[in-house]
């Protein structure tokens, strides 16, 4: 089912799940560093449940065979359920949110790589926004199909207008203002969904502080990251909440009610060429250094695990999955090592045939 990349860090990776029950239940997958010798003889964690395979196959209109992947062993992640923790050692935390109609483990390949390099990654499932959200009591919540119909209003004319915005030229500020005007007129439901996800993450952080303080070094602050909807949620968290000290947005357009706000934290905006013109809000109005990583020959969905699972170029882009993964992991770790672990003064970004980096100095005094 998945051609899983091997993690390259000094640690093996343990995993567990928990659910924060409340007005909006939030399921969370935790990836954490463990000693490699501690997982010898352990079975790797199942990647997708039967219900999730069914939901993904239906959503993306591709054949996915749960029984076959179980039989051949491909339905396994490079992590180990309830692997023994490293006693007396704490690690910095990253909250990583998935995209609209994705799932909690939708960027597990990146999350596992981060954990193998000494980070605890908290991956929440956003109820109603995920293709299927599975809870620890055995229940689940399907994707809210009305959300797809309401995300642009009126749908057809709004999609046409958005496609024109994606081809527009102009300064970062001009493009950001054009997109902001568009979303305020046509995307009230999506703006509200970003707020919902933001509240979900805050519930996760509150729970984690109470229950995982022996694993996580909260003195470092927390990094917010995510793909698509999860990425713009990360931006909102960095704007609004002091717990978050830096953020990464993987190809999320500039949705959210952020008018008049100033970004005080370092931020990394990852994008593909198709979406650059609708992802400029993160590049203006900031008092800390902001970076853009522009990937070549990529499509939006390709920044998640689907790049390996569904190698359809129209969906995930022409860039080989291994090249994307290597460069995405490298730029994420460079950024996080500098601004979360603080083991270096600034990231060492070097452009290559796959990705071009741009550094934006603070534009607000």
Per-residue pLDDT reduced to its tens digit, 60-75 = 887 889 999 999 999 9
Of the candidates 19, 225, 198, the one whose C-alpha atom is nearest the C-alpha of residue 120 is: 225
Alpha-carbon span 259 to 268, nearest angstrom: 20
- Provide mean pLDDT across the span 117-123: 98
Alpha helix stretches (DSSP H) within the chain: 50-60, 66-72, 108-116, 145-150, 155-165, 172-186, 188-211, 229-240, 306-309, 313-316, 321-339
Between 71 and 145, the more confident residue is 71
Give me the torsion for CA of 42, 44, 50, 52, rounded to 10°: 140
Quick one: what percent of the chain has pLDDT higher than 70? 99
Q: Is the pLDDT of residue 335 over 90?
A: yes
Range with lowest mean pLDDT among 144-158, 228-242, 265-279, 316-330:
144-158
Alpha-carbon span 10 to 33, nearest angstrom: 9
How far is residue 8 from each of residues 112, 155, 207, 333, 354, measured CA to CA in Å? 9, 44, 30, 12, 20
pLDDT interval class at 357 (50, 70, 90) = very high
The number of residues in the chain equals 365
The pLDDT of residue 350 is 97
The pLDDT of residue 349 is 98
Q: Do residues 136 and 29 make contact, with C-beta atoms less than 8 angstroms apart?
A: no
The pLDDT of residue 2 is 54
Alpha-carbon span 72 to 92, nearest angstrom: 35
Q: What is the average pLDDT score of the chain?
A: 96
Question: Domain 12-360 sits in which CATH superfamily?
Answer: Alpha/Beta hydrolase fold, catalytic domain (3.40.50.1820)
The pLDDT of residue 1 is 52
Q: Do residues 96 and 121 make contact, with C-beta atoms less than 8 angstroms apart?
A: yes
How far is residue 227 from each of residues 191, 224, 359, 362, measured CA to CA in Å? 16, 11, 21, 24
DSSP track, 247-292: EEEES----S--TT--B-S-EEEEEEGGGGGG--GGGSSBSS-EEE
DSSP state of 91: B
The pLDDT of residue 311 is 78
pLDDT interval class at 156 (50, 70, 90) = very high
Alpha-carbon span 325 to 5, nearest angstrom: 8
Q: Do residues 4 and 38 make contact, with C-beta atoms less than 8 angstroms apart?
A: no
**Residues near 35 by Cβ (< 8 Å), separated by ≥ 6?**
11, 12, 84, 86
The pLDDT of residue 280 is 98
Backbone dihedral region for residue 64 (phi beyond 0: left; psi -120 to 50: alpha; all else: beta) = beta
pLDDT digits (tens, 9 = 90+) for 289-303: 999 999 999 999 999
pLDDT digits (tens, 9 = 90+) for 79-108: 999 999 999 999 999 999 999 999 999 999
Backbone dihedral region for residue 73 (phi beyond 0: left; psi -120 to 50: alpha; all else: beta) = left
User: How many Cα neighbours within 13 Å face the side chain of 92?
Assistant: 23
- Provide mean pLDDT across the span 118-126: 98
Of the candidates 237, 249, 304, 299, the one whose C-alpha atom is nearest the C-alpha of residue 274 is: 299
Q: Is the pLDDT of residue 330 over 90?
A: yes
């Amino acid at each position: 089912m998945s051609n899983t990349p091997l993690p390259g860090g000094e640690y093996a990776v343990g995993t567990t799940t928990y659910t924060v029950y409340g007005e909006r239940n939030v399921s969370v997958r935790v990836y954490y560093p463990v000693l490699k010798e501690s997982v010898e003889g352990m079975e790797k964690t199942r990647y997708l449940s039967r219900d999730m395979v069914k939901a993904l196959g239906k959503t993306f209109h591709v054949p996915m065979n749960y029984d076959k992947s179980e039989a051949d062993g491909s339905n396994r992640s490079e992590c180990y359920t309830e692997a023994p923790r490293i006693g007396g050692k704490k690690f910095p935390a990253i909250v990583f949110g998935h995209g609209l109609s994705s799932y909690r483990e939708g960027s597990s390949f990146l999350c596992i790589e981060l954990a193998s390099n000494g980070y605890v990654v908290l991956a929440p499932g956003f109820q109603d926004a995920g293709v299927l959200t599975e809870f620890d009591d055995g229940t689940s919540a399907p994707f809210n199909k009305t959300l797809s119909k309401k995300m642009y209003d009126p749908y057809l004319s709004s999609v046409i207008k958005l496609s024109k915005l994606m081809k527009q030229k102009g300064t970062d500020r001009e493009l950001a203002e054009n997109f902001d005007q568009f979303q305020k007129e046509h995307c009230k439901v999506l703006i509200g969904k970003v707020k919902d996800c933001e509240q979900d993450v805050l519930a996760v952080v509150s729970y984690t502080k109470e229950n995982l303080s022996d694993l996580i070094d909260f003195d470092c602050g927390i990094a917010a990251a995510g793909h698509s909807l999860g990425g713009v949620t990360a931006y909102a968290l960095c704007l609004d909440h002091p717990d978050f000290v830096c953020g990464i947005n993987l190809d999320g357009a500039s949705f959210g009610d952020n008018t008049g706000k100033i970004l005080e934290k370092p931020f990394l905006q990852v994008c593909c060429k198709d979406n650059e013109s609708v992802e400029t809000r993160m590049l203006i109005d900031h008092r800390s250094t902001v970076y853009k990583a522009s990937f070549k020959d990529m499509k939006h969905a390709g920044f998640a695990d689907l790049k390996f699972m569904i190698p359809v170029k129209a969906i995930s882009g022409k860039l080989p999955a291994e090249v994307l993964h290597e460069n995405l992991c490298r730029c994420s770790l460079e950024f996080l090592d500098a601004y979360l672990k603080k083991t270096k003064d600034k990231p060492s970004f070097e452009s290559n045939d796959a990705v071009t980096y741009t550094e934006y100095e603070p534009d607000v005094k």
